[in-house]
Chains A and B, each alone.
Chain A
Amino acid sequence: DGGITQSPKYLFRKEGQNVTLSCEQNLNHDAMYWYRQDPGQGLRLIYYSQIVNDFQKGDIAEGYSVSREKKESFPLTVTSAQKNPTAFYLCASSITPSANYGYTFGSGTRLTVV
């Protein structure tokens, strides 16, 4: 079945460490997105990519980095510069660069700083 796979489901990070969250899709979708979810704040856009080798900052990009070397993959790195990284991270994809068709979401990664 086609879908989006996020791994790991749970991730623990020590202070000062960089960690990378994986997002892979086999839907042949053009665009991919990363959102951060905190209780009561809804979904906030971190980065998005409409085509391979190109990406744009979202509303809260500071302390995060991404790459899009392959159409299927859009990993997110949470750097030590992100001061409050504990959150639920969601990856999504869209069939075209336009969001008019909506998104398909992965099942999320819960990151906790220990």
Chain B
Amino acid sequence: AQSVTQLGSHVSVSEGALVLLRCNYSSSVPPYLFWYVQYPNQGLQLLLKYTSAATLVKGINGFEAEFKKSETSFHLTKPSAHMSDAAEYFCAVSVGGGSEKLVFGKGTKLTVNP
């Protein structure tokens, strides 16, 4: 069965610093991978998704993620953090072949310090 591990439940960066949020997946078949962002008391919003077209995926708000099959990873990065990036981020996986549901990681809360 597929699973997702997000390393670090809390990450803190300074404004302008690199953001790196880690996600590792477990899947025996090629996965579909997603990053979502959640602001307080709101639903989840799709940041980006990997569907095998390209290993480097660009998303909204300057975020991008790279699919590395050899490392079973899909880490989320942003070169320069902004105060508005403070939120909780979730990685999710769907196994190809008509999987019925996404499996979510437990989330990483990002704090951006001025």
Q: List residues of A whose CB falls within 8 A of some B CB.
A: 4, 6, 31, 33, 40-43, 45, 48, 50, 56, 58, 88, 90, 92, 97-100, 102-108, 110
Q: Which residues of B are found within 8 Å of A97, using beta-carbon distances? A: 98, 100
Contact A106 B43 (CB under 8 A): yes
Q: Given that A100-B32, A102-B34, A102-B49 are known contacts, is A110 also in contact with B102, CB under 8 Å in the complex?
A: no
Interface centre among A99, A108, A110 (most CB of B within 10 A): A99
The residue on A at minimum CB distance from B9 is: A40
Contact B100 A102 (CB under 8 A): no
- Total count of chain B residues near the partner, CB < 8 A: 25
CB < 8 Å neighbour of B99 from A6, A42, A43, A99: A99
Contact A48 B43 (CB under 8 A): no
The residue on B at minimum CB distance from A97 is: B100
A64 to B23, CA, bound (A): 31
Q: Given that A42-B105, A42-B106, A100-B51 are known contacts, is A50 also in contact with B43, CB under 8 Å in the complex?
A: no
B63 CB to nearest A CB, Å: 15
Interface of B is mostly: loop
A90 to B49, CA, bound (A): 20
| B62: interface (CB < 8 Å) | no
The residue on A at minimum CB distance from B104 is: A43
Instruction: Give 12 CB contacts A-B under 8 Å.
Output: A31-B100, A42-B106, A58-B101, A90-B43, A97-B98, A99-B100, A102-B34, A102-B49, A103-B46, A105-B43, A108-B42, A108-B43
